[in-house]
Structure 1
Amino acid sequence: MKLFLAPMEGVVDWVMRDTLTRIGGIDQCVTEFLRVTDRLHPEMVFYKNCPELKTGSRTRWGTPVFVQLLGGQAEPLAINAQRAAKLGALGIDLNFGCPAKTVNRHDGGASLLKSCDRVHTIVKTVRDAVPAHVPVTAKIRLGFDDPTKCIEIAQAVEEAGATWLTVHCRTKTDGYKPPAYWEWIPRIKENVKMKIIANGEIWNVADFYRCVEVTQCEDYMVGRGVMSNPYIFRQIKQSLHDQEVEEMNWARAKALLPQFFESSTLYINDYFAVSRTKQWMKALSLKNQEAKSVFDEIKVLKKPVEFREKLEFICQ
């Protein structure tokens, strides 16, 4: 059984992938989406989106990373997939699941789920464009506004030659409102033979086992759950191997933050680091009252020097 880190836009950049895969338990990563319109991105854009291309398409801790592309035009997606493969990407993932209004208005993400033919054309064109040994995968939602479409969409993805399909178990119009409708996964599996990866509302080990019971999938993807509990992947793996499951607490989580801040500073700049560290601390505070108290105290700080000093004091 493999566990995948979800490609959350604006969250799971190189620094976050590096931080989380260092903890352990993650078998596969996917980059934030690279938006494709009508042109071929230069190599520097791919390296910025996925610095791991310079290290065998793996994080420093050995975890494979696929490059995710998003767009509505098959040919531009195909030529960008070719370039990613030539640069060493271990796989190409196609985003048909992003629910963001801006993305959907510009013919990307979940808006493509309105047309199974377009999904099929994009997947097939990309599949035909890259070497056979490079996996081409897709990530979808259950549909745009009608979950009954998920079976037809999955069939289109399979017929186009995708290696596997990740299903976020909500429609676009559901957004991120709970619950995730895991019960659609068995219905999809009855109609396709390719591997299905279940995604949505896995916040802890107990949620994981409930998802396993309902979906009976081989592999699983976790997104927002890891932002509130960065040890969730390791905890799941410990449970699967009948080991004692380590407790996740604020003391363990906050120890990750200073290095995360410094790495984000090196990756972009210190103002970016302040923003991303606050973002992560807010996510941590959703499930931990102690983290919430700290976040309420530090969120008002805007100057990087003040923020760094306060962060170091809190985390010492």
Structure 2
Amino acid sequence: MEGLLDHPLRETLTRVGGIDRCVSEFIRVTGTLLPERAFTRVVPELLQGGRTRAGTPVRAQLLGSDEACLADNAARLASLGPAGIDLNFGCPAKVVNRHGGGAMLLQDPELVHRIVAAVRRAVPAHMPVSAKMRLGFNDDTRAEDCAQAIEAAGADELVVHARTKVHGYKPPAYWERVADIRAVVRLPMVANGEIWTVEDARRCREVSGCQSLMLGRGMVSDPGLALAIRGGAGIAWSALLPLMLDFWAHVSRRVEPRHRAGRLKQWLNYLRRTYPEAQAAYDAVRTLNDPRQVAAAVFGEAAARIDIPAPRRRAWAEARERDEEVPA
């Protein structure tokens, strides 16, 4: 979930609990061997043993279409110690698909096989290599072919988002097609798509036959969803609010000031699906752009105690003066 479920949100959601592991947002590979900082910028957990502060393992995800270049980057990434490497065959974004990445690759099972095989060969045998795919691009006629190609190439696990690229994120998710894929491959599978509630999780498991589930927007909207699926009580707004303040502290240290308000409003927009308090907070900040005003409206006086290190403030100011990309 590029631009949303990044490091600060992973840190927060894994502290709530119930999550076995995370997969990072994708790292785009486009013909060059990336420097180590390109990986640690997207996956800072690589600097802390490949885990969030709560101890949850994080797999780093790569996206691209050049098998040799992906293999080279996977080898470098593996040397940094992620909990595994995931390959993206599911992104529906037009700009990604236009450059031959993400779900576009599902039109060519042979290329999918070559990519997975090349990465598997490049990565130490003990390190898991997984893949995430949609049911297809224009339709789902090659779903089984792609899954079999991924299995034959040596992947350790397959996540299936139960929609095609054309479906986008429109409900429903076609969990029954995940069951069809399970019938033709033997590698461990994970079902994904339209899991917003405990009841959705129950039905997805029943229809797909997968006991393992990947949560995306449902977890962002309801941070206690994983706990609730495991039989727990979820998390109340009063308990979530301090974790949100911690999220805001991470955002304040990593995100340039003019973009901070949008990050908090973006999450509140999802949270209001579950919490009436989030709806009230979103209404209060919807038209605000000053991060201090937004934080004060949501967190009150506690927001003022968050301090941004002086070197980071100077780096932002210098980057703006040079009209360069603001450092993370």
Could you tell me the TM-score, scaled by structure 1's length?
Answer: 0.92
Query: How far does residue 54 in structure 1 lie from its aligned partner after superposition?
Result: 1.3
Partner of 1:118: 111
**Among candidates 6, 10, 16, match of residue 3 of structure 2:** 10
Confirm or deny: 8 A CA contact 1:104 1:111 kept in the other structure.
yes
Please give the residue correspondences for 1:44-193 in structure 2 after superposition, counting only pairs within 5 Å: 44-193=37-186
Tell me the alpha carbon deviations over residues 64-117 of structure 1, each in whole angstroms, 9 at most, x when there is no partner. 111100011111111110001011122110000000111111111111111111
Alignment-mate amino acid for residue 169 of structure 2: Y
Confirm or deny: 8 A CA contact 1:91 1:136 kept in the other structure.
yes
**Which whole-Å CA distance do the structure 2 matches of 1:315 and 1:257 have between them?**
11
After TM superposition, the runs of 4+ consecutive aligned structure 1 residues lying more than 6 A away are: none
Query: How far does residue 33 in structure 1 lie from its aligned partner after superposition?
Result: 0.2
Secondary structure at the aligned position of 2:125 is classed as coil
Partner of 1:294: 281
**Which whole-Å CA distance do the structure 1 matches of 2:131 and 2:268 have between them?**
30
Please give the residue correspondences for 1:158-307 in structure 2 after superposition, counting only pairs within 5 Å: 158-237=151-230, 239=231, 245-246=232-233, 248-307=235-294
Alignment-mate amino acid for residue 256 of structure 2: N
Partner of 2:314: none
Tell me the alpha carbon deviations over residues 38-70 of structure 1, each in whole angstroms, 9 at most, x when there is no partner. 001101111111111111111111111111000
Query: How far does residue 313 in structure 1 lie from its aligned partner after superposition?
Result: 2.5
Using CA pairs under 8 Å that are at least 6 residues apart, name the structure with larger relative contact order, 1 or 2: 1
**Which whole-Å CA distance do the structure 2 matches of 1:315 and 1:149 have between them?**
53
**Which whole-Å CA distance do the structure 1 matches of 2:108 and 2:269 have between them?**
37
**Which whole-Å CA distance do the structure 1 matches of 2:277 and 2:296 have between them?**
19
Partner of 1:4: none
Count of matched residue pairs: 303
Query: How far does residue 253 in structure 1 lie from its aligned partner after superposition?
Result: 3.7
Range that drifts further, 16-25 or 143-152: 143-152
Query: How far does residue 145 in structure 1 lie from its aligned partner after superposition?
Result: 1.6
Gap runs ≥5 in structure 1: 1-7, 240-244
**Which whole-Å CA distance do the structure 2 matches of 1:109 and 1:89 have between them?**
21
Confirm or deny: 8 A CA contact 2:130 2:155 kept in the other structure.
yes
Range that drifts further, 140-149 or 32-41: 140-149
**Which whole-Å CA distance do the structure 2 matches of 1:84 and 1:97 have between them?**
21
Tell me the alpha carbon deviations over residues 243-292 of structure 1, each in whole angstroms, 9 at most, x when there is no partner. xx425554444343222111111122333332211100001123444422
Change beyond 3 A, Cα 1:88–1:308:
same
**Which whole-Å CA distance do the structure 2 matches of 1:229 and 1:218 have between them?**
20
How large is the RMSD of aligned CA atoms in angstroms?
Answer: 1.6
Gap runs ≥5 in structure 2: 304-328
Partner of 2:23: 30
Tell me the alpha carbon deviations over residues 115-165 of structure 1, each in whole angstroms, 9 at most, x when there is no partner. 111111111111111111111110000000211321111001001111010
